[in-house]
Structure 1
Amino acid sequence: MSMSVQGTILVLDGVATNRIMLKVQLTAAWYQVVQGDKLKGLPALLRRTRPDLVIASQTLPDGSASDVKAILAGDPTLSDVPVVAITQQNDKAARVQALADGLDDVLAYPYKDTLLLAHVRSLLRARVERQELQVEDKTKSIGFAETGTALITPAPSSRIAILTLAARTGAIWNKALATRVPQPISSHDLPNLSGVLSSPVPDAIVVELWDGATCRNMLADLRSRAATRHTVLIGVIPDASSDQTAEALDWGVDAVCQGGFDPDEIAVRLKSQIARKRRDDRLRASLRNGLADSLTDPLTGLCNRRFAMRALHQIARQSSQSDRGFAIMLADLDHFKSINDQFGHDAGDQVLTETASRLQQSVDQRGFVARFGGEEFMICLQNVTPANALRAAERICACICSEPFRLGEPQNPILVTISVGLVLHAPPLADSVLKSDDMEGLLKSADRALYAAKQSGRNQVRLRRSAA
């Protein structure tokens, strides 16, 4: 379920004045606010309003904020909705217990509007990013759904880094956390980030925050780098400064421990945040695998037709900008049906995969090879002259026929040949951008050249000048 345009926040509190105050604060920040006062009837209210975030009093007339989180967790469509608990006093032990119960954050009265809104922005931002990764249902509709978690490489062991202004502080924090978390911990001095950016990059960083531009620049640096963009950042502030906490959350810190380093709170936050990161990493891996699968031929590992057409249009645009020619080849294995009939389809698949390997080895980095379908392959070379393109096509023929295909049976090698149709798009034709119809014309020209090679006896190259 996507977020509303404004963002819908459900406020739960048994005290009407508390609900009204929160509604005023949140409405002034352009959030849509709905209200409730107890757990009774909450499932129906949640289904009706579909909130993006819940702010609940830690103590409700018939339950607690932890009960609210449990109800949300029971609904798969709402299980990722964050819950912030509001407490009447700053009780560290109660805050740690609430975080251990699964609540996303805890705020104690009195608090500033700026702090409340910074927590809201941080949690909503994290939820939006997570929702963008949850594409399973959409990817199924276009054919590259996740094939199963067993195919995803298990995540490596988590690592934690500590960043402090003084080495002695880092050593104290390290010792305190080491007995509370299972992950290995490394300590580094601020503001130098060279140690923490060295491989392997940690999954979570506990960082001592201080006021000033240097701290802001450090957080921006960590969030802007590809290596640490998704790393969990937990800030530690020496006092209860609401302004500094709000600023840290807006600069990308995932959570803040106010009032100095508390190893119990840090340990609880690390556990929940690293678990969240692991889930998000799996979603990202699934998305990458799905996108790769959608553009890759599963048998040969080559680009498929879908990718080939995208790449071909890109090469055509580059050609028009550089006034350099490119070549398209359609290559088709000769008498492939007889290979399947005589040796079986498993042998035919082995011929296709070996053909793909040989074609890739014969084509340099100026081009790519794709399986166009069946036993047909497409090769595209950019920045080539007609003479170079013809020599490349002849090499392709030679790489297939010069060495028999052994297929695990040395005593029965299979002789395979390939026919190639070559079309050139070269200056002065390359000085204009090709349209889709022009691209189809190039492919038809290459197909006619391939047909001519087949008609002329196979195992050879036929060339046609671009018709586009």
Structure 2
Amino acid sequence: MSARILVVDDVPANVKLLEARLSAEYFDVLTAANGAEALAICARAECDIILLDVMMPDIDGFEVCRRLKSNPATHFIPVVMVTALDSPADRVRGLEAGADDFLTKPVSDIVLIARVRSLTRLKMMTDELRMRAITSLEIGVQAPERSAVADTGKGGRILLVDDRPSSYERLAPMLSAEHSVDVETNPSEALFHAADGNYDLLIVSLGLDNFDGLRLCSQARSLERTRAVPILAIADADNNTRLLRGLEIGVNDYLLRPVDKHELLARVRTQIRKRRYTDHLRDNVQNSIEMAITDALTGLHNRRYMESHLSTLAEQAAARGKPLALMMLDIDFFKAINDTYGHDAGDDVLREFAVRVRKSIRGIDLACRYGGEEFVIVMPETDLHVAGMVAERLRRSIAGEPFSVNKGAKRIEVTISIGLSTLELKGEPVADVLKRADNALYRAKHDGRNRVVAAAA
């Protein structure tokens, strides 16, 4: 697992030491001697993780971190502060500046490498989501970076898994100051609770009685419904080995007892902000997919989706020896509606038409806007007789009740013409089926509109 690590320190000896440690683990290492140089490197997107010293002459590490995390273009880059400062107040200050972790010098090689590897895995996952979501900008989905920068990390839903009253009775009130907290004292039930609770964060004590807390963390990572939920482990000061193992299996962060309230809240806010950001990225990817296959005005599938999916449905029908019917519809005199009542009224008609279509067909049927006022409905396992009954029901649904337009100011009569065809021969090109439906639609319009015509066998 290679990553580009930026080491920022104004002491050359410290830089060389970290560079040697990281290079030995096959990481690519960049260096910067001051904050301004580090910010410039990050602005060019040249690094994956930053190891940042606090005490620097031009801009201190706290300010560098603050600038990185407040910039939508760089806020997602993990920052680990590596410094001689070791008081809880210093750690909290670093975490509140946006740091992902705060390591105190001298840092053991094992701890440093484990933390870098853990953050590298998370960064790669986030980068993959970001790359998938980039196209969403091109189709109008808002990028989540600005909301992520403004997110306070408060108001999260947390599940605390701890079976020692002396521990959870102290931790829960601390967390409740900023979040909604559920306490699970039975570790055997914790995974089910986590899967059903839609939590933003799991906090797991590694000192559970008669239960391995790391096994619970591993199970949470392997279960689909909890795989993306961040985990914060809490351990005794002599549990470094188990904590390092936890980072390897997917624990996101950890705290050593005795727990400082301010550091706990700062680390929790960091993890909840990350969770919300990745959730936004996933939502953007999903929205991008939906927008790529959906007609924005009607909510029906678009022509691109129909053309790619119709061949698959035809192949399935032929392989199973089942019928496949295709319905092509056209709203009669639609141009006159636009010319008389305006294009907003035309849009109202198209939206209401889509609603009535959905009510008239089955869940397995595929309804698409083919273009303009033309629509196609594909009906698997449907012969021409049944398709004719469905088409007639839909025709009556459209003609039987006027359409409200211009915010209900007017109600106008609307009718449709429908052409039907079916898949005739195994292996027949779907273009031929569409062509027959189109010809049948032409006859329906030629014969007076507001009618259903089936293609000749």
Deviation at 1:368, TM superposition (A): 2.4
The equivalences for 1:436-447 within 5 A come to: 438-447=429-438
Show the counterpart of 2:381. Answer: 383
Show the counterpart of 2:96. Answer: 100
Taking the aligned partners of 2:28 and 2:409, their CA distance within structure 1 comes to 76
Select 1:278's aligned residue among 268, 276, 279: 276
Select 1:201's aligned residue among 198, 201, 224: 198
Aligned amino acid, residue 202 of structure 1: Y
- Greater mean alpha carbon deviation, residues 120-129 or residues 287-296: 287-296
Select 1:450's aligned residue among 431, 438, 441: 441
Aligned amino acid, residue 464 of structure 1: A
Show the counterpart of 1:308. Answer: 306
The equivalences for 1:282-431 within 5 A come to: 282-405=280-403, 407=405, 414-425=412-423, 429=426
Deviation at 1:61, TM superposition (A): 5.5
Taking the aligned partners of 2:102 and 2:127, their CA distance within structure 1 comes to 23
Deviation at 1:44, TM superposition (A): 4.4
Taking the aligned partners of 2:110 and 2:317, their CA distance within structure 1 comes to 53
Aligned amino acid, residue 122 of structure 1: S
Select 1:185's aligned residue among 181, 185, 209: 181
Show the counterpart of 1:115. Answer: 111
Show the counterpart of 1:33. Answer: 29
Taking the aligned partners of 2:406 and 2:140, their CA distance within structure 1 comes to 33
SS of corresponding position for 1:327: strand
Q: Does 1:159 align with 2:150?
A: no
Deviation at 1:288, TM superposition (A): 3.2
Determine if contact 2:156/2:179 at 8 Å carries over to the other structure.
Answer: yes
Q: C-alpha deviations, 1:49-75, integer Å up to 9, x for none?
A: 811111133434555432432453476
Taking the aligned partners of 2:300 and 2:154, their CA distance within structure 1 comes to 29
Determine if contact 1:111/1:242 at 8 Å carries over to the other structure.
Answer: no
Q: C-alpha deviations, 1:257-309, integer Å up to 9, x for none?
A: 13453333211111222223333333333443343333332322222223333
Determine if contact 2:233/2:254 at 8 Å carries over to the other structure.
Answer: yes
Taking the aligned partners of 2:268 and 2:237, their CA distance within structure 1 comes to 20
Deviation at 1:386, TM superposition (A): 3.1
Taking the aligned partners of 2:45 and 2:302, their CA distance within structure 1 comes to 44
Aligned amino acid, residue 138 of structure 1: T
Q: C-alpha root-mean-square deviation of aligned residues, in Å?
A: 3.5
Show the counterpart of 1:268. Answer: 266
- Greater mean alpha carbon deviation, residues 191-200 or residues 402-411: 402-411
Taking the aligned partners of 1:36 and 1:147, their CA distance within structure 2 comes to 30
Show the counterpart of 1:463. Answer: 454
Taking the aligned partners of 1:372 and 1:222, their CA distance within structure 2 comes to 45
Deviation at 1:137, TM superposition (A): 5.0
Deviation at 1:204, TM superposition (A): 1.8
**Residues 1:406 and 1:100: Cα distance change in structure 2 (over 3 Å):** closer
Select 1:132's aligned residue among 105, 128, 131: 128
**Residues 1:150 and 1:103: Cα distance change in structure 2 (over 3 Å):** closer
Taking the aligned partners of 1:70 and 1:279, their CA distance within structure 2 comes to 17
Deviation at 1:366, TM superposition (A): 2.4
The runs of 5 or more residues in structure 1 that have no matched partner are none
- Greater mean alpha carbon deviation, residues 113-122 or residues 92-101: 92-101
The runs of 5 or more residues in structure 2 that have no matched partner are none
Q: C-alpha deviations, 1:338-386, integer Å up to 9, x for none?
A: 3333444333333222222221111012202222222111111112233
Q: TM-score, normalised by structure 1?
A: 0.83
Show the counterpart of 1:86. Answer: 82
**Residues 1:37 and 1:448: Cα distance change in structure 2 (over 3 Å):** same
Q: C-alpha deviations, 1:95-142, integer Å up to 9, x for none?
A: 23322232221223444433222211222232233333435653344x
Identity rate, percent: 29
Show the counterpart of 1:172. Answer: 170
Taking the aligned partners of 1:356 and 1:48, their CA distance within structure 2 comes to 47
**Residues 1:70 and 1:331: Cα distance change in structure 2 (over 3 Å):** same
**Residues 1:346 and 1:18: Cα distance change in structure 2 (over 3 Å):** closer
The equivalences for 1:244-259 within 5 A come to: 244-259=242-257
Determine if contact 1:329/1:379 at 8 Å carries over to the other structure.
Answer: yes
SS of corresponding position for 1:59: coil
Determine if contact 1:146/1:290 at 8 Å carries over to the other structure.
Answer: no
Aligned amino acid, residue 28 of structure 1: A
Aligned amino acid, residue 193 of structure 1: A
- Greater mean alpha carbon deviation, residues 216-225 or residues 409-418: 409-418
SS of corresponding position for 2:73: coil
Deviation at 1:87, TM superposition (A): 3.1
SS of corresponding position for 1:331: strand
Determine if contact 2:191/2:219 at 8 Å carries over to the other structure.
Answer: no
Taking the aligned partners of 1:457 and 1:49, their CA distance within structure 2 comes to 64
Determine if contact 2:2/2:28 at 8 Å carries over to the other structure.
Answer: yes
Determine if contact 2:69/2:98 at 8 Å carries over to the other structure.
Answer: no
SS of corresponding position for 1:134: helix
Q: C-alpha deviations, 1:396-453, integer Å up to 9, x for none?
A: 2232223344558999753332111212125x51xx5x7xxx3333322321221122
Taking the aligned partners of 1:409 and 1:288, their CA distance within structure 2 comes to 31
- Greater mean alpha carbon deviation, residues 39-48 or residues 226-235: 39-48
Aligned amino acid, residue 142 of structure 2: E
SS of corresponding position for 1:192: helix
